[in-house]
Structure 1
Amino acid sequence: MEKRSIAISLPCTGDDEWQATREPLTTGWLTQGPKVAAFEKAFAERHGVSHALATTSCTTGLHLILVAMGIGPGDEVIVPAFTWVATANVVVYCGATPVFADVDRATCNIDPADVARRITPRTKAVIAVHLFGLCADMDALRAVLPPEVPIIEDAACAAGAAYKGVPAGALGLAAAFSFHPRKSITTGEGGMVTTNDDALADVANMLRNHGASISEEQRHKGPRPYLLPEFNLLGYNYRMTDLQGAVGLVQLQKLDRFIAEREQWAAFYRDALAGLGWLCMPQLPAEGGRHAWQAFVTYVDPETAPLPRNEIMARLQERGISTRPGTHAVHLLGYYRERYGIRPDDYPGARDCDANTMAIPLHNRMSKEDYEYVVRCLREIAD
């Protein structure tokens, strides 16, 4: 069998994106401007929200949301123990305390029952991560929370996803998306905040631009160029460039096609690998939902697998197939382990997902032969 070289993920960009950057480059408007505004408008419409604010990353987007909510020292924010570290980091940036909740091994998403056990009078929000493109169980989560505790969506992996017919980004008080190259659509680095809350959007809009009362575009196009904005908030420089906005606008137009292709090949994987009892397939969404398939993350059953997960990954790598752990258990990372005195067994679901999840290649630059090769290699490892 011919050895192939298959990346875990590759951005799907080309001449359309290249040509889209010409206008910002020729007009000289390179910082946040008309292309970002157009991208924000289109993204808000696609995800069914009133406001979309482009940022430098999903991390800065989440940080903006928490600061705009007034979260700070003495406050607690519940986050899943199995997620990318940024979900917890943004809470620490605010001087608040991240409180971890365990995850469901089947979905890798936050466990509402464990969230219920973590709520205290200091709980100010819960960050629900739609991990790998599967929306968290928002109804079950809302049912265990007091009415005054809002849900923030970490929708880094979930552009185009939906829960019971409602798009990701419109399911909580606010959400943050990522456009990192491993996501379904990309602007290189970049993120987006979405919300239907007018007041929160106004504050976040100022915060991302140093706390300025008006944007650079408004100031430059206004009738009084000698005026500088007021700065009544301590803000940040979290603005997206117009080069990125131009690329994002093109990528967004391809989002549904990208997801449809990934759905097709996710179904192929599920059928072709069904006979491997030791390799658990990713969970599908409930009726009315849509998985964004940012990644195809399996679970290697340590009791029945022919080899440990890491050995399987090493053997696939030898055959040219890139894999990755799903993500990490944040409570096992040195900073959080040492600062908060957390033990591995405090969150057994997250611990097990950390040890046993395995993402296999799924992206829009793979061929039919690539997918078939991945399946053949996994079957051979099992023999």
Structure 2
Amino acid sequence: MSMIPITRPETGDAEIAAATRVLRSGWLTQGPEVAAFETEFAALVGSPHACAVANCTNALHLALLALGIGHGDEVATVSHSFIATANAVRYVGAEPVFVDIDATTLGMDAAALATAITPRTRAVLVVHQVGMPCDLSGLLAVASAHGLPIIEDAACALGSEIRLDGAWQWIGRPAGRIACFSFHPRKVISCGEGGMLTTADPTLDARFRLLRQHGMTVPDTARHGAAQVIFEQYAELGYNYRMTDLQAAVGREQLRRLPWILERRRHLAQRYHTELGQRVPSVTLAVQPPWARSNWQSYPVWLPAGCDQRAVMQAMLDAGIATRRGIMNAHREPPYGGHAWTLPVSEAAQDRIILLPLFPALEEADQDRVVTALAAALA
């Protein structure tokens, strides 16, 4: 019996041809493919600017740096996220203040944010978890009332949409000051690793570009293409956060696949809704708010209260089906364990949710196997 993985990247001959083109070009690091990827990505999500980096953790780090967040500052964010979200706050010397989540969207709860803001709060870092848009309208209202910028951790949310001010827009336009994306293999599109920052602010975009390349005042592309000798300077501490042209070329092909990937993921998610609703009524299914359209980067289900999450996952693994537990909580990990946080919904989501296999190549017969195995495990 074949193993059904939690996900599988959708790649093929187009990506192989793109990588081959770069290898034959003689330019492998950040160059013309990265520039083209940035332009195409910005156009897709509706953002004036997009800056590519090596991964989404780099993107979060640069976003905080560019906004001037530093030692002594606090950033309101969620514990219920991959630990990179909280780590990026610590990278700049600030402290994360963890805010509980909404059980429907798994994103930051706007009412909880309002009570978490202190005189030291300098930014709000929200997460569109498992591709489901968080309540940006409510969160923006709270942040704006306190004069705080919002950074969107949109690592999982490429292709997701949200209705703001009566109009639909893609996550990444962005609604806040900056949005950060990931191209890790668990995400909707992938080039192995990679990240992207989008913003409407040209000053922030220029800052990202300076900091991602060691603070070098003259990019490689400009220096190598110049008719005269140019000596670059390094005006401040920067970082080696560059994306390679190999990654970008693959990413460009992945963008071309995205419409079909989104269509397929949404079809499979709807099929899970139907089959699980009929055959496994004891689980609580994900609900898509009327103002949100998820890309269904992952498909979460809430197990019944008191259910042994590990035992259910093991039973499914024994049946040849990979699952993952609910999204981790950073405050439960040693680097963030020194504070008695009260985050009941975040903790319940980690302990009671499991993520089911969902990827474009998932066959309906295999999806039926997943549903059957979950029903058996709960029985």
TM-score > 0.5 by shorter chain: yes
Shift of 1:105: 2.0
Q: In the alignment, is residue 188 of structure 1 matched against residue 184 of structure 2?
A: no
The counterpart of 1:266, out of the listed 264, 269, 283, is: 269
The offset of 1:381, in angstroms, is: 2.9
1:93 is the counterpart of 2:91: yes
The DSSP-based 3-state class of the residue aligned with 2:3 is coil
Amino acid at match of 1:87: T
Distance (Å, rounded) in 1 between the aligned partners of 2:232 and 2:147: 34
Aligned position for 2:327: 327
Distance 1:134 1:286 in 2: 12
* Aligned AA (1:213): T
Helix, strand or coil for the counterpart of 1:363? coil
2:165 corresponds to 1:161: no
For 2:199 and 2:105, locate their aligned partners in 1 and report how far apart those are by CA, in whole Å: 25
In structure 2, what is the equivalent of residue 14 of structure 1? 12
Deviates more, 1:243-252 or 1:164-173: 164-173
Q: What runs of 5+ residues in structure 1 fail to find an aligned partner?
A: none
**Aligned-partner SS, 1:78:** strand
Which amino acid in the other structure matches residue 96 of structure 2? Answer: P
1:1-383 aligned at under 5 Å gives the runs 3-145=1-143, 146-164=145-163, 165-169=168-172, 170-224=174-228, 226-275=229-278, 276-287=280-291, 289-303=292-306, 307-338=307-338, 341-343=339-341, 346-383=342-379
TM-score, with length taken from structure 2: 0.96
Write the distance in 2 (CA, Å) between the matches of 1:382 and 1:81.
Answer: 28
The count of residues paired between Structure 1 and Structure 2 equals 372
Residues 312 and 378 in structure 2, CA contact (< 8 A), matched pair in contact too:
no
Cα distance in 1 between the residues matched to 2:208 and 2:17: 31
Could you tell me the percent identity over the aligned residues? 40
Q: Which amino acid aligns with 2:285?
A: M
How far residue 49 of structure 1 moved from its aligned partner, in angstroms, is 0.4
Preserved CA contact (<8 Å) 2:106 2:134: no
- Displacement, 1:162? 1.1
Deviation at 1:17, TM superposition (A): 0.4
State the shift of 1:223 in Å.
2.0
Instruction: Work out whether residues 4 and 319 of structure 1, in 8 Å CA contact, stay in contact via their aligned partners in 2.
Output: no
Question: Which residues of structure 2 form unaligned runs of 5+?
Answer: none
1:302 is matched by which residue type in structure 2?
A
Q: Conserved in 2, the CA contact under 8 Å of 1:4 and 1:370?
A: no
Secondary structure at the residue paired with 1:177?
strand
Structure-1-length-normalised TM-score: 0.95
Partner Cα separation in structure 2 for residue 348 and residue 205 of structure 1 = 39
1:293 is paired with a residue whose SS is: coil
CA distance in 2, matches of 1:381, 1:209: 50
**Whole-Å Cα distance in 2 between the matches of residues 382 and 227 of structure 1?**
67
Code of the aligned partner of 2:56: C
TM-superposed deviation, 1:315:
0.3
Runs of 4+ more than 2 Å apart: 275-278, 379-383
Would the aligned equivalents of 1:163 and 1:285 in 2 still touch at CA under 8 Å?
Answer: no
Q: Which amino acid aligns with 1:291?
A: S
Q: Deviations over 1:186-235 (max 9, x none)?
A: 010110011001111111110001111221111111222x3222222211
Question: What amino acid maps onto 1:201 in structure 2?
Answer: D
SS at match of 1:371: helix
Partners of 1:214 and 1:135 lie apart in 2 by: 37
How much does 1:247 deviate? 0.1
Alignment-mate amino acid for residue 28 of structure 1: G
CA distance in 1: counterparts of 2:368 and 2:281, whole angstroms: 19
1:379, distance to aligned residue in structure 2 (A): 2.3
Structure 1 residue 153: Cα displacement: 0.4
Task: Note if contact 1:20-1:246 (Cα within 8 Å) is conserved in structure 2.
Answer: yes
Q: CA deviation at 1:147?
A: 4.9
